[in-house]
Chains A and B, each alone.
Chain A
């Protein structure tokens, strides 16, 4: 056998100096750290340092124009925050807005992905059109929607009045403002969800679906028993992303309503901007930011808990 005859040959080994293998081994040990250094430095400079600074600022009295002259005041900013009805209102709006953005955005995106997962003529074109909302920059999207919502000359009210109905105050009434902001949010978020879910759906093994079909399962049962468990990790991940983005979304809300009317669309992040730049109070604004951060971490923790439970179930 070729293998045994070759292995029987004596192997010439180059004499080595005593230090080289040790140096190579050390290099090998250090190599992962070298690869990690750049992202770690990046994260430290652009994420952890600003984050740490923000947390520190939330314990200080700091004016916007004098950020380097802070006075440590302990938990005073948090006391002010928890004493303020504005905070609870902003927290409530943030929770409602984020929850609805996740539920509606993920539901529409998933349904669209399911529809586009089937072959039909012009599917590529339809996908491209549906992705349009995701591709448009947020600021441009908000400005376009401002025109669409315009009470006097907007497209929506032209349709409404042509139906013989009264004009609707899309952005200037407390009843409609949050719904209008949500509409724009979902218009932007759903295409992203669709794209991700489409990729997940295309990775569902066809043979398992076929096997279920042969066993007599109908479309709904196949979805419930085969497709859904397979795409569930992606669905959870995309929900987490949409939730975190919604908690920290600023541009669309600020440009459409500025947090109004009467605070009905004022989320924590919109409030943060107001406190920092109108009241010049960086300390209190940072406290708002920390609460937003805690909310986002809570959502991530819930996601991690679900993940762990699912993995346990699978094992």
Chain B
């Protein structure tokens, strides 16, 4: 055997072992509205960038889109046969894209991985279309310093919430309570309101799959929200980013917010995160959560590389790194909260506990149509708030409109 034939054989062997395409540089575009979040966005992205050391031929590129436009943009881009390779999607958009057949089966990426219950809605008709990214559950948070200065107690019911928030306002001059309350922020408003609805035992759908909008539970939930609205403890007209900034600047007593929002409040503001406390929602039943999935675009030119990325994402190392950047959000696998993080953020463990029995903001069986159904419902809520019409009458109108749709 000559030297040249040995060299040729070695070259051939290396080509078989390392196929050319595996070495070609590939750019995976990953879209997420969270990339634009102050501090949290950078932390999350730096976790993902670690993948580049695992797969040197892959370069990750972040596509940050403001959360208000994110769903519309993803729907439009995916529908037009374009879009990022990988998208981190709120459950509602995830279901709509899955329904349109625009997501890739990613079951192979999670084979043999013990995922927790957050995986459930990512599996449609037995096909895994989404890998859980985060589950942001809601809780009641408060500024412990303001509460102490006002001499009020953390509330466990809505009437206690009103009394405590009024106490904070009267004694400290701060805002009593913040909550989304305007239809101009429809998407966030309906998701936040699901806490009130679920908290009062609303199901929106009966055992036969019929939409049940006008129920005593729903009327009770709206009446409770109206009580809070009328108590002049909410800064009417403030959008959610403004309300969160006010909380960050120690100007708010109480708020109902999700774990992601609370992490935002606790990061990089005037407020010491150790002063934020949390507790279960002041309702008889558990509240809601926003589930976020990672999905691969069916239009992606690099589905194999995207799949390999997802495989890495659910490894214990990646999940542990993600835990540090995700605050108390539930992840795809059960990763306990970091002790140092909990010491700095005493509000975090309550969120982790609440994630075990919270419910999706989407209506079971009507996941794709939830926003369409919730529009008349939220307009009924708004009508009650603004005009004082009885919740039952407003809900009856909403039920009529929804019955016409389906």
Interfacial residues, chain A to chain B (CB-CB below 8 A)? 63-68, 83-84, 146, 149-154, 169-174, 254-263, 274, 277-280
Contact = CB atoms under 8 A, between A and B. Distances in A.
A274 B375 contact: yes
Contacts, number: 93
B386 A172 contact: yes
A184 to B, nearest CB: 14
B80 interface: yes
A83 B237 CA distance: 33
A149 B372 contact: no
6 contacts: A68-B81, A154-B237, A171-B184, A258-B185, A258-B186, A279-B371
B82 to A, nearest CB: 12
Contacts of A64: 75-76, 79, 96
Interface size class of B (residues with CB under 8 A): 35 or more
Contact of A173 (B71, B368, B386): B386
A65 B102 contact: yes
B382 A262 contact: yes
B185 A262 contact: no
Interface in B97-151: 97, 99-102
B383 interface: yes
A182 B371 CA distance: 29
A63 B382 contact: no
B379 interface: yes
B168 to A, nearest CB: 15
Contacts of A152: 175, 235-238
A262 B375 contact: no
Contacts of A257: 183-184
Nearest to A174: B386
Given A152-B235, A280-B96, A67 B183 contact: no
Interface string B16-47: 00000000000000000000000000000000
A273 B184 CA distance: 13
Contacts of B185: 258
Q: Helix, strand, loop or mixed for chain A's interface?
A: loop
Given A174-B386, A262-B386, A65 B97 contact: yes
A254 B72 CA distance: 15
Interface string B54-91: 00000000000000000110011011110000000000
Contacts of B101: 66
A172 B182 contact: yes
B164 to A, nearest CB: 19
A252 B375 CA distance: 21
Contacts of A83: 404
What are the 6 tightest A-B residue pairs by CB atom distance, in nearest-first order?
A258-B184, A65-B100, A260-B183, A151-B237, A279-B372, A151-B236
A279 B369 CA distance: 7
A14 B404 CA distance: 83
Most buried by A among B79, B101, B372: B79
B387 interface: yes
Nearest to A149: B237
A87 B185 CA distance: 21
Contact of A262 (B71, B72, B372, B379): B379
Contacts of A274: 375
B184 A260 contact: yes
B182 A280 contact: no
Nearest to A150: B237
Contacts of B235: 151-153
A258 to B, nearest CB: 3
Contact of A66 (B79, B175, B387): B79
A192 to B, nearest CB: 26
Nearest to A154: B237
A67 B182 CA distance: 31
Contacts of B80: 67
Interface string B185-223: 110000000000000000000000000000000000000
